[in-house]
């Protein structure tokens, strides 16, 4: 009868495996506890409305104020598109050729119509129409031009945004004081002396500064 070899003692190996298994179970438990304590922040209707305020736009240039009516710009572009498309009789090449030669003028600005077809609105300074200057901003009332604009601002769903040129910090400070005194939220964007103002069509029905 053949002699049996020495037997193997597996108790140490079993102890190691037991420790590893215990550690794995502990990690799983801790991970589950951490996951259950994660707080998910959901915007309330009030927070959502604050982020969705519409801008009321003004440009400060030559120490004068110019209104930028985003709804008017969009309406003018839509009307011009219908006019040019009708004149081109549905011919896309003729339409684009005509569009490249068109610019739309509003008081204080000249807009690149062709660029508006891409959803971006470029406004170039046009000084043929003078802007608004305060006689005394401390006496500005709803009967004055800027005061009549500000009194219409609803601070719950609108804010006032100023595009400020380098030569117009004085009128910006005066306009800021008037708007702030009426409880308006205010933002400003610094502009180079001759650079166009760029507005982007962010939601399909409104224009926002970019």
Instruction: Note the pLDDT tens digit of each residue in 7-50.
Output: 666 667 677 778 887 787 878 877 766 655 544 444 444 443 44
In the chain, what percentage of residues exceed pLDDT 70? 80
Does residue 36 belong to any structural domain of this protein?
no
Does residue 204 belong to any structural domain of this protein?
yes
∠ CA 191-206-184, nearest 5°, is 65
Residue 2 has pLDDT above 70, yes or no: no
- Residues 83, 87, 89, 91, Cα dihedral to 10°: -90
Q: How many domains does the chain have?
A: 1
Q: How confident is the model at residue 119 (pLDDT cuts 50, 70, 90)?
A: confident
Does residue 32 belong to any structural domain of this protein?
no
- Residues 112, 113, 116, 120, Cα dihedral to 10°: 10
Q: What is the pLDDT of residue 10?
A: 60
pLDDT per residue as tens digits for the range 137-162: 999 999 999 999 999 999 889 999 99
Its domain, for residue 94, covers 55-209
In the chain, what percentage of residues exceed pLDDT 90? 42
Does residue 1 belong to any structural domain of this protein?
no
The span from the CA of 136 to the CA of 114, in Å, is 40
Does residue 37 belong to any structural domain of this protein?
no
Contact 72, 199 (CB under 8 A): no
Q: How confident is the model at residue 203 (pLDDT cuts 50, 70, 90)?
A: very low
For the entire predicted model, the pTM comes to 0.69
Does residue 50 belong to any structural domain of this protein?
no
């Amino acid at each position: 009868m053949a002699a049996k070899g020495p037997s193997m003692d597996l108790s140490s190996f079993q102890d190691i495996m037991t420790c590893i298994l215990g550690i794995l179970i502990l990690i799983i438990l801790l991970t589950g506890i951490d996951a259950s304590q994660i707080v998910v922040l959901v915007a309330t209707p009030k927070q959502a409305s604050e982020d969705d305020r519409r801008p009321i736009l003004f440009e400060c240039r030559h120490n004068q104020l110019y209104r930028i009516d985003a709804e008017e710009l969009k309406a003018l572009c839509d009307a011009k598109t219908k006019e040019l498309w009708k004149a081109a009789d549905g011919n896309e090449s003729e339409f684009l050729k005509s569009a490249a030669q068109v610019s739309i003028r509003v008081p204080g600005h000249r807009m690149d119509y062709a660029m508006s077809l891409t959803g971006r609105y470029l406004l170039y300074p046009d000084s043929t129409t003078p802007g608004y200057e305060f006689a005394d901003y401390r006496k500005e009332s709803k009967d004055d031009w800027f005061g009549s604009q500000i009194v219409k601002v609803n601070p719950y769903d609108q804010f006032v945004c100023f595009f400020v040129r380098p030569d117009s910090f004085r009128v910006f400070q005066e306009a800021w004081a008037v708007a702030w005194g009426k409880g308006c939220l205010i933002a400003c964007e610094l502009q180079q002396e001759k650079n166009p103002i760029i507005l982007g069509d962010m939601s399909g029905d409104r224009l926002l500064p970019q």
